[in-house]
Structure 1
Amino acid sequence: MGDASKSQPLAATLHPVYYVTNIQHKVRILDGSKVSYATWVKLFRLNATGYKVLKHIDGTPSPAPTDPSHTSWKEIDAIVLQWIYATLSNELLVRVLETESTAYQAWNRVKNIFHNNKGSKAAALEQEFVNLTLHSMPSLEAYCQRLKEIADKLTDIDNPVTETRLVFQLVRGLPPEFDVTASQINHELPSWEDACDMLDHEQRRQLARDSAHIPTHVIAAVSRDQPTPAPAPARRDSAPRNNQRRPSGRRNQPPSNQFGSRPSGPRSVAPYAVSPPPWAAQYSQQWAPW
């Protein structure tokens, strides 16, 4: 009982920031493309408020070195500085990391990276924002995501894009096949998420309709490409064909010659002798043998 009573005041006085083990699971890594600066600031401030360290990044003056709470403040400030460094990409960390720094100083260095040359950055982003279309993107999801990323980047450099303007620009870059849904969105002015969902449902409906109506020439081409089945072999006990039913006396007759008559006797490819007529014997002395 005595040990429990002694440990209770220590737990009660321990700052909540000491309970954070992995800040990357709470604040996403800032890289400027997948995670914008505005998104990173929102997540970081949310955790800083929950763990009671917001005064370390909002410009609140630190305690004087002679103040008894200065040592505790410095330890907590070092933890918040670790949060900042741990939630930056490798490219940004090289530009922000300093040997001697407070959390507020590092916070401002990150801010200056994204706020420098705001005029030229805003002009380039604004041009991309108004010229982006669905045809220039690989998918509807990529189109919606890119529009939101550009809007967040414009907000980072003090050129915020309202949700209504974002929805109008979403409709503006759609092809003609979305005219019905685009007109409905312009009339109802839904939220950004609802507008994206409406377009997604319309795209799914069009895909289902197109897949249900296959062109006839495609079916004919598929049927033409199929192999023709081979004929079944003739049965041995089947009746002879008509062209095989010939008279027994005319079977195996040779074809007719060029004068239209057929040679008599069996057909042979070898030459054969012709028998002399019976009356040729009396003239055997006069005629030469054939």
Structure 2
Amino acid sequence: MWTALISGYTQNECSDVALNLYQEMRGNSILPDQATFVTVLRASALLSSLHDGREIHSLIFHTGFDLDELTGSSLVDMYAKCGDVKSAVQVFHELTIKKDVISWNSMIVGFAKNGYAESALKVFNEMAQSCITPDEVTFLGVLTACSHAGWVYEGLQVFHIMVNCYGIEPRGDHYACMVDLLGRWGFLKEAEEFIDKIEVEPNAMIWANLLGACRIHGDEKRGQRAAKKLIELEPRNSSSYVLLSNLYAASGLWDEARSLRRTMMQKDIQKMPGCSWIVVGQITNLFVAGDKSHPSCDEISLALKHLTALIKDNTFHDFLG
């Protein structure tokens, strides 16, 4: 019953409630099982709560579940998503059994998301040597690694191997990753041609990646096409309007940029405020753009003004030097 509740809250984006329930469960002297550990580790990963993840890891070790491959894979995933790649690698190497593709995927994706492209490809090669058959998640991780590192040729090779050697049908996120790989590194013409050759209807993620690349490289023509397609698919999503408006502004097309902003206002399309958080001690501090509800808001504002002043008069650079 406890695990079902914890899982339900985690799946419905209430990971903080899920972790509180887990603590309540432990307070009632109920020992977690494999399913519980996997679920609360996922909740910790979603919250980037390294402190909670480490506490759970300690109990996993003392209850012997560190020998369980699925629990170990969840630990690798948690540490990687919290940015502690060193611990993720240590857990991965300590896994005595790595017969399931999930274990390898956790490490490959962990490396890829944290920018360790070379390490991701190394694990991918080790996986092949261990006779573990890669799946669609494996290839998505490797393609992500190639995209972050700018390895366009290698990414194209990996995509070819996935389709022609392993017979894996690409999903929307594979196509989106390829568009990101080509577009991010300036191959906008090739990215557009890649989209035009896709046999299925391109989804919003694919067009969003092309639009983002056009914004980076100032390709107004392709950016307009991508934005139009994106608006057709997600008419209430502000990101396509904002990206295209920024593209117009960067190209000096101020009238077009203002017109697009007016269209957003007329359609009552609101830009989602940015959100970030930082853990200080054991307290997670959440910040949303424009929000002043934090109890230390005045102190934070003063500190930011002080830092801004230092940066402007180059004192900050001297301090760092």
TM-score bracket relative to the smaller structure:
under 0.3
Q: What's the TM-score, normalizing by structure 2?
A: 0.22
| More helix by percentage | 2
- Which of the pair has more CA radius of gyration? 1
Q: What's the TM-score, normalizing by structure 1?
A: 0.24
